[in-house]
Amino acid sequence: MKIHLRYYGLVAAVTKKAQEEIELKAGMTVQGALDVLVKQYGEKFRKEVFFEGYYGDTKVNTPNLFLNKARIQWPQDYPKGLKTTLKDGDMLWMGLIIGGGVVQKIG
């Protein structure tokens, strides 16, 4: 099966590309795809895809990863998280995606 990948921010700096398509074995999970990409791009790739830090007193290690435009860790969309099975044509977006700002009318 083929999946589509888009890279943002520091992840794109590691891969030296904004997007690509890769061929994976049918039935592979999101974690399996990440493992393939870490083998290709190295541990720096993993470091940039995952946020490690603290939320209050709790240590967190969460991916900056969207599957088909929804965050992989949102249980309402992907209750299996990284163990979600990929399908042909799925889109994975990786990296810190920041949106927002203020629209200001000038004049």
Give 39-94 pLDDT, tens digit per residue.
999 999 999 998 888 888 988 888 899 999 999 988 889 999 999 999 999 999 99
Q: Counting every residue, how long is the chain?
A: 107
106 — pLDDT class (breaks 50, 70, 90)? low
3 state SS of 23: strand
Does position 98 have pLDDT exceeding 70, yes or no? no
102 — pLDDT class (breaks 50, 70, 90)? low
Write down the pLDDT at residue 75.
Answer: 87
Query: Which residues is 5 bridged to in the sheet?
Result: 20, 92
Which residues contact residue 55 at a Cβ distance below 8 angstroms, ignoring those fewer than 6 apart?
A: none
Q: Which of 9-23, 31-45, 87-101 has the lowest mean pLDDT?
A: 87-101
Tokens of 4: 């589509």
Q: Dihedral, CA atoms, 97, 98, 100, 105, nearest 10 degrees?
A: -100
Write down the pLDDT at residue 59.
Answer: 86
3 state SS of 21: strand
Do 8 and 93 meet the contact criterion of CB atoms below 8 Å apart? yes
Give the amino acid at 104.
Q
Does position 101 have pLDDT exceeding 60, yes or no? no
CA atoms within 13 Å, Cβ hemisphere of 68: 13
